[in-house]
Chains A and B, each alone.
Chain A
């Protein structure tokens, strides 16, 4: 506050820095631990090695899980981007009734606790005999990704000047043509961000996947199942790889949005 004593300001800085440390230190500790040579999780690691990465990359079950995760994330993020993007456009520019209701429903998977989505999908898929199917898994990930896509693209479309579209319409372009040739090129950075967010969301999903994936293992599902049984240092290597993947993906988003001058509106 204005006129606060130096003591108060120092106490506030200490509290803030401690908060940041609390938030980030666990992640920073995992990274060096993944290069430990020891089987026990001792900090600091007694000596360095790559053995846990070798275990991970040499294990066909982990590699299978990696493949499943990648395919599910690729399919469900594209589906969510396509369906969610069209819907975000329809909700912002459409004139039909019940738009608020539809939007609330589309955001549902974000609001309803994931455990309940998992149970409802488990019961529903069991009822129609698709429990443990690959299609069920992709559909589930798609609907979990929809809210993220709608949030990012909803903001981007609202900020886009409607008069530019009106010009296209007045020149005789159809809605579909306008979306494809006018909106998409302009919104490309946000579309890319939404796609990355959806991909990360699917790649990290563990709760619904654990309930409905049956024999299919994704990386987080396998990691979760192993953690419940015993703590095994291979997990530390997996965790480090997931952190690295997220950092790279977010850096790509920050770079592209930053270049388009849209970083601030998307993250805060």
Chain B
């Protein structure tokens, strides 16, 4: 009698339980447990009382929303344009989207320091055009962080959106045209609704990634634009407040998993 194949996953299962599940459970334990009184919510009471936590949470939400919106505004036309390209041009465009996706986030973030710095390409161009006399500061503020995050996450939106767009049957659009629909009507009544599930799924994915983003705000924000992850870094590595860090991590984890469940639902619909 043949085995049921469980043996194939057993080694990985052991590794994941020991090195992934148990540490996360331990973190949850630290967030909700204290030696003296057992189960406790005091770590969460501390969070609500300190205005600094609420401010960081507000920052994170605002930057994540703006970066996600920028992604949609740049990514949707890009994916739509790629759909209409001929074979060779389309292949080049795909390569130009896939390549940055695989290049280290740290390198892509660093590239923006080079581009946006006082002597960088953008400031040089602005001064040459006479639009400004003194360099504009893009770095070490919210603007720089938002630009960097929008850039780093763009492939996560464009690739699934493009994949959904090329699955749309051209005959649907031709049918609409032959019935006399104007191009804008075809776009808004036929094409756009068909891309909506993929757009929504991609948007949620980008938003989740924004919420937990660490490298880009740390580098482009220069410590002046704290987001949740950077706050967590401080609570672990600088002023050790492990319980507080665990409490915040737990909230971030739950929010992420809830949004991810919504993403999965939409993604299934998008690829159905």
- For window 23-59 of A, CB contacts with B under 8 Å fall at 23-27, 29-30, 33, 40-43
A104–B78 alpha-carbon span in the complex (Å): 32
A120 contacts which of B26, B82, B103, B113 (Cβ < 8 Å)? B26
Contact of A119 with B173 at beta-carbon distance under 8 Å, contacts A19-B75, A224-B215 already known: no
- For window 215-268 of A, CB contacts with B under 8 Å fall at 220, 223-224, 227-228, 231, 235-236, 239, 242-243, 246-247, 250, 267-268
Does B19 contact A86, Cβ atoms closer than 8 Å?
Answer: no
Does B106 contact A224, Cβ atoms closer than 8 Å?
Answer: yes
Interface-centre pick from A16, A105, A117, A120 (highest chain B CB count, 10 A): A120
- Min CB gap B153→A, angstroms: 11
A227–B214 alpha-carbon span in the complex (Å): 14
Does B174 contact A2, Cβ atoms closer than 8 Å?
Answer: yes
Q: Does A171 contact B (CB under 8 A)?
A: no
Q: Does B246 contact A (CB under 8 A)?
A: yes
B183 contacts which of A1, A90, A250 (Cβ < 8 Å)? A1
Q: Does B200 contact A (CB under 8 A)?
A: no
With a cutoff of 8 Å between Cβ atoms, the chain B residues found around residue A223 in the complex are 106, 110
Contact of A250 with B77 at beta-carbon distance under 8 Å, contacts A43-B120, A143-B16 already known: no
Identify the closest chain A residue to B103 (Cβ). A246
Does A83 contact B12, Cβ atoms closer than 8 Å?
Answer: yes
Does A113 contact B252, Cβ atoms closer than 8 Å?
Answer: yes
Contact of A227 with B110 at beta-carbon distance under 8 Å, contacts A19-B75, A23-B96, A268-B163 already known: yes
Does A23 contact B151, Cβ atoms closer than 8 Å?
Answer: yes
Main secondary structure of the interface of A (DSSP, over half): helix
Q: Does B265 contact A (CB under 8 A)?
A: no
Identify the closest chain A residue to B100 (Cβ). A23
Identify the closest chain B residue to A32 (Cβ). B114
Q: Does B67 contact A (CB under 8 A)?
A: no
B257 contacts which of A18, A111, A125, A247 (Cβ < 8 Å)? A111
B81 contacts which of A16, A41, A127 (Cβ < 8 Å)? A16
A106–B155 alpha-carbon span in the complex (Å): 23
Contact of A200 with B102 at beta-carbon distance under 8 Å, contacts A2-B177, A108-B16, A242-B107 already known: yes
Contact of A143 with B19 at beta-carbon distance under 8 Å, contacts A41-B120, A42-B119 already known: yes
Does A23 contact B154, Cβ atoms closer than 8 Å?
Answer: yes
A253–B92 alpha-carbon span in the complex (Å): 16
Q: Does B256 contact A (CB under 8 A)?
A: yes
B252 contacts which of A84, A116, A250 (Cβ < 8 Å)? A116
Interface-centre pick from B82, B151, B260 (highest chain A CB count, 10 A): B151
B12 contacts which of A87, A228, A242, A243 (Cβ < 8 Å)? A87
> Which of B3-11, B33-41, B45-53 forms part of the interface with chain A?
B3-11
Does A123 contact B16, Cβ atoms closer than 8 Å?
Answer: no
Interface-centre pick from B102, B124, B233 (highest chain A CB count, 10 A): B102
- For window 97-118 of B, CB contacts with A under 8 Å fall at 97-100, 102-108, 110-115, 117
A27 contacts which of B108, B159, B229 (Cβ < 8 Å)? B108
With a cutoff of 8 Å between Cβ atoms, the chain B residues found around residue A1 in the complex are 173, 183-184, 186-187, 191
With a cutoff of 8 Å between Cβ atoms, the chain B residues found around residue A20 in the complex are 78, 93, 96-97
With a cutoff of 8 Å between Cβ atoms, the chain B residues found around residue A250 in the complex are 98-99, 102
With a cutoff of 8 Å between Cβ atoms, the chain A residues found around residue B106 in the complex are 204, 206, 220, 223-224, 227
A150–B11 alpha-carbon span in the complex (Å): 14
Identify the closest chain B residue to A146 (Cβ). B12
Identify the closest chain A residue to B255 (Cβ). A113
Q: Does A114 contact B (CB under 8 A)?
A: yes
A134–B111 alpha-carbon span in the complex (Å): 30
Q: Does B270 contact A (CB under 8 A)?
A: no
Q: Does B44 contact A (CB under 8 A)?
A: no
With a cutoff of 8 Å between Cβ atoms, the chain A residues found around residue B228 in the complex are 115
Does B115 contact A29, Cβ atoms closer than 8 Å?
Answer: yes
With a cutoff of 8 Å between Cβ atoms, the chain A residues found around residue B177 in the complex are 2-3
- For window 202-245 of B, CB contacts with A under 8 Å fall at 208-209, 211-212, 214-215, 218-219, 223, 228-229, 232-233, 236-237, 242, 245
A204–B22 alpha-carbon span in the complex (Å): 25
Which 5 A-B pairs give the minimum distances between C-beta atoms? Answer: A94-B5, A113-B212, A90-B8, A16-B81, A124-B23
6 residue pairs A–B, Cβ–Cβ below 8 Å: A43-B120, A91-B9, A113-B208, A113-B209, A206-B106, A239-B107
